[in-house]
A and B are shown apart, each in its own frame.
Chain A
Amino acid sequence: MEVTVKIFRYNPEQDKRGHYETYKVEADENDRVLDVLELIKGHTDGSLAFRRSCAHGVCGSDAMRINGRNHLACKTLIRDVGANITIEPLLGLKVAKDLIVDMDPFFDNYKKMLPYMINDSPLPADGKERLQSPEQRARFDESTKCIMCAACTTSCPSFWASDEYYGPAAIIAAHRFIFDSRDEGASERLQVLSETDGVARCHTAFNCTNACPRDIHITQAIGEVKLAMVTGKLD
């Protein structure tokens, strides 16, 4: 089938503002949007810039707006988006070139969540592992699935309004450790998240939940963090 692809283009060395270019390619309905982008870059216009790495929904590099909504290009089939496709960069982050955005503010917010295990207590008597039950592990299982693609954060109207808001992905990173029974940094993280740029800025638009390629119940996780903040309970 012939697919018409309209792509946002911006070259910081030539353009003052972005524009769109349209390409026509032959593709199978079971091809992915990433395949179409590779076709264009390989055969029609080598100057097209976009991020990709694993091509299998694992690395989180190729989140972009496809027909007006955030997706991973490598997980989006042509048959699901149709023969007329518009591809644009993520919203709320500076566009560096074409479909590539500057992810620095996103990762800066991530770092503020102290996304690592905090536990200064001595090791158990056997000097080996800090054990936890399957139930304790299940408590934060959802939030371990995050691949840091930024599809959630850049679909959030609160983040569009201000990138000072930590955003759903950062809160998911915090959730992963706050509810981990082996971690002792929950109060520190809840303190960070109780600031003006924290969870209070989530107005439950659910764009994040609908954009997440890993089907993480993001809004629910944010709700759990909100409740933990108010009640002080982590169960």
Chain B
Amino acid sequence: MGLNRNVDLLTGLRYKGQGPYLTFILHRIGGSALFIFFTLYILTLAGVEFAHALFSNALVQIVIVVLGIFHAINGLRITILDLFPKLIQHYRVAINIEWAVYILICGFAIFVVLRSAAGG
């Protein structure tokens, strides 16, 4: 009876959740970036040339830093709220603090990547 229940990726992404849903989506993308990071890292250690070239590319490094750091900081926020459910009612404040911390750490990390790419 009726149309299939399956929700495809695009329909899911188009759902108008708010800020927290955006962090949920970015968390998944960040997790995938970390997966790529570790794969490249292992391949680089194994001496695979293209992995080493990618790993040394400043742009790739920045993309992984931007997404990976988000995953880490967002994961920390989720863990804290999971451990102290009473704080969950302040989730919007928690997310704002998370963005502030993220921008600071990420900005610094990008600066470090760019400085080392420029030979500093």
B1-24 contact mask (Cβ, 8 Å, vs A): 1 or 0: 111110100011011111011001
What residue of chain B has the Cβ atom nearest to residue A67's Cβ? B16
User: Which candidate, B57-65, B80-88, B103-111, is the interface stretch facing chain A?
Assistant: B80-88
Q: Which residue from A12, A93, A95, A206 sits with its C-beta under 8 Å from B20?
A: A206
The interface residues of chain A, by DSSP majority, are classed as: mixed
Judge whether A205 is part of the interface by a CB distance below 8 angstroms.
yes
CA distance A67 to B83 in the complex (A): 35
Assuming A203-B24, A226-B82, is B14 touching A219 (CB within 8 A)? no
What residue of chain A has the Cβ atom nearest to residue B22's Cβ? A205
Let me know if B81 and A210 touch, CB within 8 A: no
CA distance A68 to B83 in the complex (A): 32
CA distance A220 to B94 in the complex (A): 13
Let me know if B17 and A93 touch, CB within 8 A: no
CA distance A160 to B11 in the complex (A): 10
Interface residue count for B (Cβ, 8 Å)?
26
Judge whether A214 is part of the interface by a CB distance below 8 angstroms.
no
What would 8 A/B residue contacts be, using CB atoms closer than 8 Å? A12-B1, A69-B17, A94-B4, A94-B5, A203-B24, A206-B18, A209-B91, A227-B82
Judge whether B89 is part of the interface by a CB distance below 8 angstroms.
yes
Q: Which residue from B1, B15, B27, B91 sits with its C-beta under 8 Å from A68?
A: B15
Judge whether B78 is part of the interface by a CB distance below 8 angstroms.
yes
CA distance A102 to B12 in the complex (A): 19
CA distance A14 to B43 in the complex (A): 55
Let me know if A91 and B7 touch, CB within 8 A: yes
Assuming A92-B7, A219-B91, A223-B88, is B12 touching A157 (CB within 8 A)? yes
